[in-house]
Amino acid sequence: MLEEFEGHSEGRMRIKCRVIVKGFGEGEVLVTKQAINFLTMLELKSGIVNYDKHELYKKSIADKILVFPNAIGSSVGAYAIYALKINNVAPKAIVCSKADITTASGCAIANIPLVDNPESDVFAIKSGSTIKVDAENGIIQIT
The answer to whether residue 75 is catalytic is: no
Q: Which of 46, 74, 120, 129 is catalytic?
A: 74
**C-alpha–C-alpha distance, residues 58 and 71, integer Å:** 18
Instruction: List the 139-142 sheet strands across, edge first.
Output: 2-4, 13-16, 139-142, 130-134, 24-31, 65-68, 93-96, 114-116, 18-21
**C-alpha–C-alpha distance, residues 47 and 134, integer Å:** 23
Closest CA to 136 of 9, 3, 2, 25: 25
* 3-state DSSP percent of the chain in helix, strand and coil, to 5: 15, 30, 50
Which residues are the active-site residues?
74
